[in-house]
Amino acid sequence: MVPSQLEGFPSLAHFISKDADAAIFRGFSELGTRNLLYLQSNLHELEVRVAKLDQEDFNNRHRIDGLVNSARSYRGLKNAAGGSEGETIQRVARVGGNIRAEIPNPDRESYYRRRLDLHLKIKDAMREYREALIQEQQVRSFKPPPKRSLLAFQHFLLRKDGNILLGDDETLFGDLENPIDLVSLNPSEDDRLNRLLRYTCGYCFHDKKRKPYPDLDIFYYSDRAIHLTGYIVATVLSGILLVCAMLCLSLVYARSWGIRLGMVAMFTSLFAIVVGLLTNARRAELFGSTAAYAAVLVVYVSGNLGPPNPAGADQTGLA
When pLDDT is cut at 50, 70 and 90, the band that residue 92 belongs to is very low
Q: Does residue 72 sit in the same domain as residue 136?
A: yes
In a domain, 39, yes or no: yes
Number of domains in the chain: 2
* Gap between the Cα atoms of 218 and 215, Å rounded: 9
In a domain, 152, yes or no: no
When pLDDT is cut at 50, 70 and 90, the band that residue 62 belongs to is low
- Average pLDDT of the segment spanning 92-111: 46
For residue range 231-245, what is the model confidence (pLDDT) as tens digits? 888 889 888 988 888
Q: Does residue 91 sit in the same domain as residue 198?
A: no
pLDDT attached to residue 203: 67
For residue range 117-134, what is the model confidence (pLDDT) as tens digits? 888 999 999 999 999 999
pLDDT attached to residue 89: 35
> What is the CA 101 to chain-centroid distance, rounded?
60
* Gap between the Cα atoms of 46 and 52, Å rounded: 10
Q: Does residue 131 sit in the same domain as residue 201?
A: no
Using the predicted structure, report yes or no on whether residue 90 has a pLDDT greater than 60: no
Helix, strand, or coil here: 93? strand
Of 43-52, 153-162, 268-277, 305-314, which one has max mean pLDDT?
Answer: 43-52
In a domain, 150, yes or no: no
Using the predicted structure, report yes or no on whether residue 94 has a pLDDT greater than 50: no
- Average pLDDT of the segment spanning 20-27: 88
Using the predicted structure, report yes or no on whether residue 219 has a pLDDT greater than 90: no
Q: Say whether pTM exceeds 0.85.
A: no
The residue with greater pLDDT, 31 or 224, is 31
In a domain, 1, yes or no: no
**Structural domain that includes position 241:** 190-319
